[in-house]
A and B are shown apart, each in its own frame.
Chain A
């Protein structure tokens, strides 16, 4: 199976560990992620201003690229890109007036009416591949690993774009169980990581991160599992600051779910690019005999 794939800027730079591990592990399941040609920025955040149509151009152009490929579906990895593209797609499907304005503004492009389906890689794993196929491919079950599945907000809100039940999602739990790991239930799994507050309101973002991390630790999680580079930046990238602020905090590694897939499938750990993780997960993985 070949699927059209939209990477986004962060996956080509700071979150290369996310992209490389994803492409390799999905290939191991017989799916070829084919990068979209001429893709541009997703818009980075979905604009909520009613008359701010110019911000919708970037995501809609990406969707037009997919349409041009003759593909009905585009797979996205980064939660933020997923959210922005899917909501722009909804706008194009449901709002005839704005659709007309955008299409006539981009007169050099083919008209777009929301024909493409935007899906997250987790949905592909659940709906197209299936947990059983994932389990069958298992080489190194992630035994004795207590993991905190962290969903953040972008996979679930607003509920129209959610990939799972909004109040109590289970899709990451299901994946981790399929990989032989032990997912924990902690109440901060869907709480905001601090997001862009990290730029202008550092204290608020730090407090959000602390609430999430300390909750995961008290639920005896050994690592957090993520699907968003911005969450990673806030939750893992800020841990040194948190350690200084809260002396009892010893730190907790974070992993992209795709890195765990690669490990569990017994792929070369180089594809995981652990050197890019803010908090090195390798000591933990070694102690569990997974590296």
Chain B
């Protein structure tokens, strides 16, 4: 059939027309082989621009279309759909990028115009060889995997499960709850963190649509949106979950102690333990590294006293395979280790606490029963709160951790309420941006708190009385200060989890320079990732407070729910295809494919490769390794690629 090609050059206002002579490019395009019509228009992506194409397809009987405009990431789909609406197969459309790859980076009008011509020429040559492709769809598995059982994971899991879709919630620790369950009160309303979180945790436990896999980790993910296969390692607790009643007798009898993670090291836990009273699931776990039975073969005290007979020293890790259609990652954050800033003396001097340690101290259920106490058991008479420890600091983390100002203010308020201490708040800038936050700052500043605007340089301990001396510049009055206090609370940065790299690999998602997971678009697609069907929520995407985390979790859940409610996904049409007359059946394609799409099978007594069309992503690896040239990728045939290269290398 004769090729009848229409070419459209977009001005994009002055974005393209400012640098490229669009009229000249359109004139030039009109001289190319098989081009029937060539136009330039101010905004091709507008309804009017699209109508122009549709009208030409009908009136001029176009059977190929090229638009030269912005990046195909922006509008390729727009124009493919316009072609489809006019009855043209969308794969008979070709997109030339003359904005990001031409007008924006260049300044010389003549050279840029020449380059635009070359790009248009390449697209016109290519579209000549384009073939119509069939667009296929596949069903979406309505099951969902949520990774991480902090507030983000809990919220996302509940939102989806309440829509009566099955959720597998995987949590690495023995209990869900995350960092939020460790917090005492939440700013700015001062409601108790436990009190608002535990009902949600119980709901997770009891929800008929949630399968909670606590003390488990995702080991391997394969497949693609709509059809992921996930291997989860359920770590051995050495306690039979079906028998354990959570009575806690084993904990009382166990003679071996270590620092409690939940109490941020302010209290001890046993080798067999339930991390905290409201744990979900409320099941004991044996810490294999600490348990003496695993080292010497003796003890078994817990087993002797367990009435339910739940202890099982022979338990081994289990690998559970689940199939899901979408995944939400909500793996949270780590806290910056203030020991990396030795000038702050954390770990060397007594009574220097991190924020999390102080949270446990003021918590009514915490190790001090909610009392603020120094190491010597006395109440502090003066406390300094040091902001931005490892945040907003080029030497550690350049970003702002976003929650420290507010919890710092909360500490000041609690200290004024619970003790008679003089409180010093040492901050760089006070960032109180959320709902009710500025009002809370205003309130605390009327409570007799000393605000010192300046970064703390150093903290030393007096050799005689052990008091802490905080060296700081008050930038408001321009003076260096030495503030003598009994206690210092450091506000360490929220940082990406130390194993973020590994997690990113497992799920094939990316990280930003600051270590957190990369969103698909920072403003317009903040919970999606570049990998279809995988979403992120909460602090794994960057530091944020509880309201923002919950909002993001619900956003991710709604993205997943719309995938489920549509129920099908469009499969990639540009996939591998085998020329069976040339295939040697060597199997190299099978070895090279990460998606397991090709398989060598016997056909009419000959071994040939066969492509599973739902698995193939069209990456092209098989076509490269194929020694006989039997394998090719639809829409990226040798002829199509060569035509582009030739067109671009022509003088």
Knowing A187-B469, A187-B471, say if A219 contacts B463 (CB, 8 Å).
yes
1/0 contact string of A135-157 vs chain B (CB within 8 Å): 00000000000000000000000
20 sampled A-B residue pairs with Cβ under 8 A:
A165-B342, A167-B341, A167-B342, A167-B343, A167-B458, A168-B342, A168-B343, A184-B463, A185-B348, A186-B460, A186-B463, A187-B458, A187-B460, A187-B469, A187-B471, A218-B462, A218-B463, A218-B464, A219-B463, A220-B463
1/0 contact string of B338-349 vs chain A (CB within 8 Å): 000111000010
Rounded to whole angstroms, the CA-CA distance of A93 and B341 in the bound complex is 30
Rounded to whole angstroms, the CA-CA distance of A4 and B147 in the bound complex is 61
CB neighbors of A among B452-471 (8 A): 458, 460, 462-464, 469, 471
Interface size class of B (residues with CB under 8 A): 10 to 19
CB neighbors of A among B323-350 (8 A): 341-343, 348
Q: Which residues of B contact A167 (CB under 8 A)?
A: 341-343, 458
Interface size class of A (residues with CB under 8 A): 10 to 19
Q: Which residues of A contact B458 (CB under 8 A)?
A: 167, 187
Count: A-B pairs, CB below 8 Å = 20
Residue of A whose beta carbon sits closest to that of B348: A185
Rounded to whole angstroms, the CA-CA distance of A165 and B460 in the bound complex is 17
CB neighbors of B among A18-54 (8 A): none
Q: Which residues of A contact B463 (CB under 8 A)?
A: 184, 186, 218-220
User: Chain A binding site: helix, strand, loop or mixed by DSSP?
Assistant: loop
1/0 contact string of A178-212 vs chain B (CB within 8 Å): 00000011110000000000000000000000000
Rounded to whole angstroms, the CA-CA distance of A187 and B462 in the bound complex is 9
Most buried by A among B460, B462, B464: B460
Q: Which residues of B contact A165 (CB under 8 A)?
A: 342
CB neighbors of B among A214-236 (8 A): 218-220
Q: Which residues of B contact A187 (CB under 8 A)?
A: 458, 460, 469, 471
Give min CB distance, B384 to chain A, whole Å. 15
Give min CB distance, B281 to chain A, whole Å. 44
Rounded to whole angstroms, the CA-CA distance of A220 and B341 in the bound complex is 25
Give min CB distance, B468 to chain A, whole Å. 11
Most buried by A among B341, B348, B458: B458
Rounded to whole angstroms, the CA-CA distance of A168 and B349 in the bound complex is 14
Rounded to whole angstroms, the CA-CA distance of A218 and B469 in the bound complex is 13
Residue of A whose beta carbon sits closest to that of B459: A187
Rounded to whole angstroms, the CA-CA distance of A187 and B458 in the bound complex is 8
Rounded to whole angstroms, the CA-CA distance of A185 and B464 in the bound complex is 13
Q: Which residues of A contact B343 (CB under 8 A)?
A: 167-168
Q: Which residues of A contact B342 (CB under 8 A)?
A: 165, 167-168
Rounded to whole angstroms, the CA-CA distance of A209 and B348 in the bound complex is 26
Give min CB distance, A137 to chain B, whole Å. 30
Most buried by B among A167, A168, A186, A187: A187
16 new A-B pairs (CB below 8 Å) besides A186-B463, A187-B460, A187-B469? A165-B342, A167-B341, A167-B342, A167-B458, A168-B342, A168-B343, A184-B463, A185-B348, A186-B460, A187-B458, A187-B471, A218-B462, A218-B463, A218-B464, A219-B463, A220-B463
CB neighbors of B among A50-106 (8 A): none
Most buried by B among A185, A218, A220: A185
Q: Which residues of A contact B464 (CB under 8 A)?
A: 218
Rounded to whole angstroms, the CA-CA distance of A185 and B469 in the bound complex is 14
1/0 contact string of B256-297 vs chain A (CB within 8 Å): 000000000000000000000000000000000000000000
Residue of B whose beta carbon sits closest to that of A169: B342
CB neighbors of A among B40-58 (8 A): none
Q: Which residues of B contact A185 (CB under 8 A)?
A: 348
Rounded to whole angstroms, the CA-CA distance of A95 and B463 in the bound complex is 46
Rounded to whole angstroms, the CA-CA distance of A220 and B464 in the bound complex is 9
Top 10 closest pairs, chain A to chain B, by CB = A187-B460, A168-B342, A167-B343, A219-B463, A167-B342, A187-B458, A168-B343, A218-B463, A220-B463, A167-B341
